[in-house]
Structure 1
């Protein structure tokens, strides 16, 4: 990864701070915001490399903050295993694809997720569907993660449909995101696109991300999380649409 200029380094730091604020307020969104904003300035591959350490640390923090780690592993392991396999396969698209196309794919993913979150009604899936639907969702999530660096589609709507209480849902999301982060790093490394020396700039990005999370927790006490989330999703739709259309307009 080439050494960034001072101005680019400041933009990256600001991006991870804002992404941390979003995660601090809503409990999720750091990878989504970081990939969306950085993908508008850098190639999605470079953005994904920067994302690894902040995403891993903040998601592990979220994962172990909840009460039921082992029961979640037993329930969700088929989906998690499929995430790993799908990410491994999809990483070839991010590492070997046309940057214009991967940027458009990233924009489409962001826009679709944000529109779904804005307008869709919550789903409720019966438990009998989990044995076969979980692996399918995991494989699809892995492919999207490998191709774009975004972990949310379709894992987040699926996990929200399983009837978890609030604390278990937050922990289940943290588990899914942690597995996705590790799988993404492994997939990039397998294709020669992630090396140990990439950990240094990614680790530096952790500092503003953690500061942003702390600030977001303060904001959460003063601003309605529902209102904040709505405007965040609207901004994500606009950003995703711009990235999707950029190859056609450029």
Structure 2
């Protein structure tokens, strides 16, 4: 049976809902990795445009709560403190999003698979993502540009942000809030950019809106579970999953 207005089978839609529920759970428990999980899994059974559109609205909605978790004043303070990273990310999401339809699917899969796999493997090896920043301002701009370039075509811009925050020694609670703030701003720009690029058509937007429900449900469960889970082990299993999904993307990119 097909879901006519989405041009998806009921099986594909069911899998997408299950993936989104899990991704929301992970975000609620550890604060990140939702778009990486969604785009990695979606790209295994959905066309690139549908895969990308599916994560846009769930990412936008779930980041609202994370961004404002400490109140409006903390949200504004984060905007002021990290405005360089946000500016670079916003500009380059808007630019790179316009080229998403021009990227061949094999290249698209490789661009996703390589950084996601490397990021997860480094985490599993216990390697710190922190880097020595001799020029913090320059690093903030450069990593913001990288985040935006990847964000516009894939919806994933978290790893460069996490690298930057770890490199400047941000404490855990602030890191979670700043991730939410920047993810939220980026999600708004990503939505606007793909309304303009044509990716967020009526059917794709309906698909994305439908996935908001399991995303919120998963995040709510993850927030509660995160209070009791061993965060180290849970993150380990999350990184294992990302390695497997990243390798699967690379397998598909080279035609195996």
Contact 1:113 1:152 in 2 (8 A): no
**Cα shift at 1:196:** 5.5
Match of 1:230 in 2: 236
Q: Does 1:97 align with 2:116?
A: no
Match of 2:56 in 1: 52
Select 2:128's aligned residue among 121, 136, 145: 121
**Cα shift at 1:84:** 1.2
Structure 1's 4 and 113: CA in aligned 2 closer, same or farther, altered over 3 A? same
Q: Does 1:168 align with 2:171?
A: no
Give the alignment's TM-score, normalised by structure 1. Answer: 0.91
Match of 1:33 in 2: 37
Q: Does 1:5 align with 2:12?
A: no
Q: Which structure 2 residues correspond to residues 73-88 of structure 1 after superposition, within 5 A? A: 73-88=79-94
Contact 1:50 1:205 in 2 (8 A): yes
- Which string of whole-angstrom CA distances, capped at 9 and with x for unpartnered residues, describes residues 125-179 of structure 1? 56x7332221111111000111222122312111222222222111110111112
> Alignment partner of 1:154: what SS?
helix
Distance 1:171 1:221 in 2: 17
Distance 1:198 1:147 in 2: 16
Distance 1:156 1:228 in 2: 18
Distance 1:112 1:184 in 2: 24
Match of 2:185 in 1: 179
- Which string of whole-angstrom CA distances, capped at 9 and with x for unpartnered residues, describes residues 211-248 of structure 1? 11122233324431110110110121121012112232
Structure 2: which 5+ runs fail to align? Answer: none
How many residues were matched structurally? 249
**Cα shift at 1:93:** 3.6
Structure 1: which 5+ runs fail to align? Answer: none
